[in-house]
C-alpha cells in the first residue's frame, strides 16, 4: 500500500455537477447565485439567521472580531492550545489575547480558569471547540452573561456537532466555520461567519468586501480586506452539505474502529467517545502519549512516516509562539496541560476518503511504532 496521507477529502457527490454549472453559466466570482444559497443552507444547519461566506476560517475570525468592534487595548480570553488563527484575529486588531489552559480529558479550554482572568478590559471570550468535542458551553455562556462579554464561537471543527442537542455554531454572538479540506465540510479554502444579529451580519458583509460605502462606490470609511468567497467554492460547499449527516456517521464509525483497535496499546490516551453533552465527531483522530512514554509526538510522527503513515502533531501553544514572545507577550506564563498536549499529542489519518484497508494499515503501524518506542525506553 502507498503512503497513507493524513487527510483526503471525499468529493464524489454533486461537486462536479455544480462546478460544471458555474463554468456553463459563467458565474465564477463571488457574485454567483450559489454563494447566497450556500450561506442560507449552511447557516440553517446551525439555526442561525445570517451566514456570511468568506475566503477561509481565519478570515471568518478576523471579520468576527472586527465586527464586534474589538480593538486597541481590549482583551479577549481564549485557549492557549488552539490554532494561531484565533490569536492573530485578535492581535491584528491591536487587542490582546488572554490565555487559558486546557483540560487533559477533552483538550478544550478550562472554563473554571476563566473568571480569574477577566478584567475591566475584557471584551469577549473566544470559545473554540477542538478535535471533535464541544467546549464547556454552558459555563462559558454563564460567565459571558455575568460580566457582559461577547462570545465569539470558533466552530471550525464542529460542522454537525451538537452540545446538549443544540448545534455548535449557534452559541456565539457571532460564530465561525472553516471549510478547509480537513474539516467535515470543505470548499477547498473557505469559511463562514454566522449570527442572528442583523446589524452584525451587515457589518460582516461590509468587512469581507473592503468596506465599500453603500451610497458611493469606491469610497471607504474603514480598513478591512478582500475576503470574498467564490461561486466555485459555494458549488463544492453545496454538494458537501448535502452529505453532512453521512459524513458525521463516517467519522464516528472511523473513530469507533480506531478506538476498538488501538485501545489495548499501552501508553496511548485515546479520545473520549462521549461526554454528557455530546458524542465525539472526531474532527481528526487525536492521540496523546501517556506520562510513562518518554518520546514526544515528533518522534512518533517520524516513525509513523517510516511506516508510510501520515500524521500531524497537535497545535503549538500561543504562549510559546516566537511571534508573540517577540511582541513581549506571555512572558513567564505557563499552562501545563496545554504544553503537555502540544508535545505529546498527534493525529493519525482520518480524512473522509480513508478506506477500511488503510485504517487497518494505520492500526498495525501505530502498534509497531509504539512497540519500538517502548523498547527504547526500557
Which residue in 108, 122, 161, 178 binds ligand PLP (CB under 6 A)?
A: 178
233 in contact with ligand PLP (CB under 6 A) = no
- Give the integer Cα–Cα distance in Å for 21 and 289: 48
- The beta strand positions in the chain, using DSSP E, are 50-54, 75-79, 96-100, 122-128, 150-154, 162-163, 166-167, 174-178, 191-195, 268-269, 285-289, 312-313, 345-348
Which residue in 57, 79, 169, 172 binds ligand PLP (CB under 6 A)?
A: 57
Q: Quote the cell numbers at residue 248.
A: 458525521
C-beta closer to ligand PLP: residue 281 or 303: 281
Structure letter (DSSP) for residue 93: T
> Least distance from C-beta 90 to ligand PLP, angstroms?
13
154 in contact with ligand PLP (CB under 6 A) = yes
Site for ligand PLP in 103-142 (CB under 6 A): 128
Q: How would you class 309 by CB atoms within 10 Å of its CB: exposed for 0-12, middle for 13-18, buried for 19 or more?
A: buried
Closest CA to 126 of 187, 178, 70: 70
> Least distance from C-beta 313 to ligand PLP, angstroms?
14
> Least distance from C-beta 42 to ligand PLP, angstroms?
14
Which residue in 50, 180, 324, 335 binds ligand PLP (CB under 6 A)?
A: 180
Which residue's CB atom is positioned nearest to ligand PLP?
57
Residues in contact with 283: Cβ distance below 8 Å, sequence separation at least 6, in sequence order? 130, 131, 132, 157, 158, 182, 183, 184, 251
C-beta closer to ligand PLP: residue 75 or 157: 157
> Least distance from C-beta 33 to ligand PLP, angstroms?
23
C-beta closer to ligand PLP: residue 175 or 301: 175
Residues in contact with 253: Cβ distance below 8 Å, sequence separation at least 6, in sequence order? none
**Rg of the chain taking only CA atoms, in angstroms:** 21
Which residue in 85, 170, 297, 311 binds ligand PLP (CB under 6 A)?
A: 85
Options 82-90, 133-141, 264-272, 339-347: segment touching ligand PLP (CB under 6 A): 82-90
C-beta closer to ligand PLP: residue 111 or 369: 111
Contact mark string toward ligand PLP, 17..56, x via CB under 6 A = ---------------------------------------x
Options 80-88, 266-274, 343-351, 357-365: segment touching ligand PLP (CB under 6 A): 80-88
> Least distance from C-beta 95 to ligand PLP, angstroms?
17
Options 79-87, 135-143, 267-275, 325-333: segment touching ligand PLP (CB under 6 A): 79-87
> Least distance from C-beta 183 to ligand PLP, angstroms?
6
- The beta strand positions in 242-293, using DSSP E, are 268-269, 285-289
Find out whether 144 and 123 touch, Cβ atoms under 8 Å: no
The torsion angles phi and psi of 77, rounded to 5 degrees, stand at -85, 135
The torsion angles phi and psi of 79, rounded to 5 degrees, stand at -70, 145
Options 144-152, 154-162, 208-216, 300-308: segment touching ligand PLP (CB under 6 A): 154-162
> Least distance from C-beta 330 to ligand PLP, angstroms?
19
> Least distance from C-beta 190 to ligand PLP, angstroms?
7
- Give the integer Cα–Cα distance in Å for 40 and 44: 6
Q: Which residues of 253-266 are buried (b: 16+ CB within 10 A; e: fewer)?
A: ebbebbbebbeebe
C-beta closer to ligand PLP: residue 82 or 233: 82
> Least distance from C-beta 89 to ligand PLP, angstroms?
9
**Dihedral (C-alpha) 280, 283, 284, 288: value to the nearest 10 degrees?**
-50
Q: Which residues bind ligand PLP (CB under 6 A)?
A: 56-58, 82-83, 85, 128, 154, 156-157, 178, 180, 191
Amino acid at each position: 500500500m502507498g503512503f497513507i496521507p493524513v487527510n483526503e477529502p471525499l468529493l464524489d457527490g454533486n461537486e462536479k455537477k455544480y462546478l460544471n454549472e458555474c463554468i456553463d453559466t459563467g458565474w465564477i466570482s463571488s457574485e454567483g447565485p450559489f454563494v447566497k444559497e450556500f450561506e442560507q443552507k449552511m447557516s440553517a444547519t446551525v439555526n442561525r439567521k445570517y451566514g456570511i461566506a468568506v475566503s477561509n476560517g481565519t478570515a471568518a475570525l478576523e471579520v468576527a472580531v472586527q465586527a464586534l468592534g474589538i480593538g486597541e487595548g481590549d482583551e479577549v480570553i481564549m485557549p492557549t492550545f488552539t490554532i494561531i488563527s484565533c490569536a492573530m484575529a485578535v492581535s491584528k486588531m491591536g487587542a490582546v489575547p488572554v490565555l487559558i489552559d486546557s483540560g487533559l480529558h477533552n483538550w478544550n479550554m478550562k472554563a473554571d480558569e476563566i473568571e480569574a482572568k477577566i478584567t475591566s478590559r475584557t471584551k469577549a471570550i473566544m470559545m473554540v471547540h477542538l478535535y471533535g468535542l464541544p467546549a464547556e458551553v454552558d459555563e462559558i455562556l454563564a460567565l459571558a452573561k455575568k460580566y457582559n462579554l461577547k462570545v465569539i464561537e470558533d466552530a471550525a471543527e464542529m460542522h454537525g456537532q451538537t452540545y446538549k442537542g443544540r448545534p455548535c455554531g449557534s452559541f456565539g454572538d457571532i460564530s465561525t466555520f472553516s471549510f478547509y479540506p480537513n474539516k467535515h465540510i470543505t470548499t477547498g479554502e473557505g469559511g463562514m461567519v454566522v449570527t442572528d444579529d442583523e446589524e452584525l451580519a451587515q457589518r460582516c458583509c461590509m468587512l469581507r468586501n473592503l468596506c465599500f460605502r453603500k451610497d458611493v462606490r469606491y469610497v471607504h470609511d474603514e480598513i478591512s480586506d478582500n475576503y470574498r468567497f467564490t461561486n466555485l467554492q459555494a458549488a463544492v460547499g453545496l454538494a458537501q452539505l448535502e452529505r453532512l449527516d453521512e459524513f458525521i456517521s463516517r467519522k464516528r464509525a472511523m473513530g469507533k474502529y480506531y478506538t476498538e483497535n488501538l485501545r489495548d496499546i499501552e501508553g496511548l490516551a485515546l479520545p473520549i467517545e462521549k461526554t454528557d453533552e455530546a458524542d465525539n465527531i472526531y474532527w481528526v483522530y487525536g492521540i496523546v502519549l501517556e506520562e510513562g512514554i518518554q518520546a514526544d509526538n515528533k518522534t512518533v510522527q517520524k516513525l509513523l512516516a517510516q511506516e508510510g503513515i501520515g500524521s500531524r502533531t497537535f497545535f503549538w501553544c500561543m504562549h510559546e509562539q516566537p511571534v508573540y514572545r517577540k511582541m513581549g507577550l506571555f512572558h513567564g506564563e505557563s499552562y501545563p496541560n496545554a504544553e503537555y498536549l502540544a508535545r505529546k499529542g498527534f493525529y493519525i489519518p482520518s480524512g473522509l476518503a480513508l478506506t477500511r484497508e488503510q485504517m487497518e494499515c494505520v492500526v498495525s503501524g501505530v502498534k509497531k511504532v509504539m512497540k519500538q518506542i517502548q523498547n527504547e525506553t526500557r
